[in-house]
Structure 1
Amino acid sequence: MTQDGRRRGRNETEEERADRMWVELIQEVRVAQTGVQILFGFLLTVVFQPKYATLPRADHVIYIVTVVLGACATGALIGPVSLHRLVSGRRVKPQAVALASRMTFVGLVLLLATMTSSLVLILRVATHGSATAWLAAPVVAWYLVCWYGLPLWARRRHTAPPDD
């Protein structure tokens, strides 16, 4: 921090930084929200399909777990919007941004779990269970690389040490 209360780097106050980070976070959440809501909507229709009744018990359990995960992911990814609405004007934006960021991270982890279990269920039905692990594992590994591996690598490699 400089003497006038501005941060180094972007030359913004804590409030300006919180405003910028909030806008960035909401843009990120919009992308994830859309994906999870579309996936969740499709999941909700599965139980009403005639083939659902013929699935083995294990597939019913996977489906139920998948729906619950999708519902939890939806809640976590919509949570920052509700948080913002409820604390708006209370002068707690930096704290709200930190909390919303955690909610978004949890939502992304839940989305990963939802997509994984959806993929497992679909592959079990499509391949009659014969190749499920061999097909799902590389896709999940790819998600992990794209969503966590590369971002953490970039964060570590390109984060500048603090000046003070």
Structure 2
Amino acid sequence: MAVSGAQDGGPGRRVPPDGSPGGRRETPEERADRRWGELLQEVRVTQTGVQILFGFLLTVVFTPRFATLDATDHTVYVVTVMLGAATTGALIGPVSFHRLVTGRRIKPETVVWAARLTMAGVVLLLCTVASSLLLILRVALHNSAVPWLVAGIVLWLIVCWFGLPCWALHRYRPKD
């Protein structure tokens, strides 16, 4: 495989040996290794955020203010902690999955399942953030604007996390 110059599509762009334009020329194993590395980087970012949020949530119950919350806020708290735990499980799942099946020659399948677990973790993270915001804003504001504020942030996260990627997939779809 040659690395092309500017005349072949830009510096550093790989061009197949036959000179045809196209994507990477990888074996299934090379593709699985590349996709696994990319997925691990993505999971590292989300895991850090989840760990911080979940750690904070676990401490809330031990604060003096927690005892003063009403039943609804206690319920929102419990739901939020459960969502945080589920999010943590989904985002650590790819590592466990990979560790348990390593050496079994199913890396492409492992990458697919790990990607599914990661996407489930991202959806659960959206729910955890929404629930956390609901709890915090209910305690901080005590007014009817809270659901609207939470809905606005959830909409923003949906646009950032799902809407823009879906738009890009549609907008930059290869022309056949």
Matched, 1:50 2:49: no
Matched, 1:41 2:41: no
- Superimposed CA distance per residue, residues 14-53 of structure 1 (whole angstroms, 9 cap, x where no aligned partner): 1110110000000000000000010000000000000101
Matched, 1:82 2:105: no
Which is bigger in relative contact order (C-alpha 8 A, separation at least 6)? 1
User: How far 1:158 sits from its partner (Å)?
Assistant: 1.5
Residue 123 of structure 1 contacts residue 131 of structure 1 at CA under 8 Å; is this kept in 2? Answer: no
Look up the match of 2:165: 151
Q: How does 1:1-80 map to 2 (within 5 A)?
A: 9-80=23-94
User: How far 1:138 sits from its partner (Å)?
Assistant: 1.1
User: How far 1:129 sits from its partner (Å)?
Assistant: 3.3
- Superimposed CA distance per residue, residues 99-126 of structure 1 (whole angstroms, 9 cap, x where no aligned partner): 0000000000000000000000000001
Q: 2-side partners of 1:15 and 1:160: how far apart?
A: 24
Indicate which of 110, 113, 123 corresponds to 2:127.
Answer: 113
Aligned length: 156
User: How far 1:161 sits from its partner (Å)?
Assistant: 5.2
Look up the match of 1:5: none
User: How far 1:150 sits from its partner (Å)?
Assistant: 0.1
Matched residues, percent identical? 65
User: How far 1:134 sits from its partner (Å)?
Assistant: 2.2
Q: 5+ residue gaps in structure 1?
A: 3-7
User: How far 1:9 sits from its partner (Å)?
Assistant: 1.4
Deviates further, 82-91 or 94-103: 82-91
Q: 2-side partners of 1:19 and 1:159: how far apart?
A: 25
Q: 2-side partners of 1:19 and 1:36: how far apart?
A: 25
Q: 1-side partners of 2:41 and 2:134: how far apart?
A: 29
Q: Secondary structure at the match of 2:82?
A: helix
The residue type equivalent to 1:23 in the other structure is: G
| Structure with higher helix content | 1
User: How far 1:10 sits from its partner (Å)?
Assistant: 0.2
Indicate which of 155, 158, 175 corresponds to 1:141.
Answer: 155
Moved over 4 A (4+): none
Residue 21 of structure 1 contacts residue 97 of structure 1 at CA under 8 Å; is this kept in 2? Answer: yes
The structure that has the greater radius of gyration is 2
CA RMSD of aligned residues (A): 1.3
Q: 5+ residue gaps in structure 2?
A: 1-15, 17-21
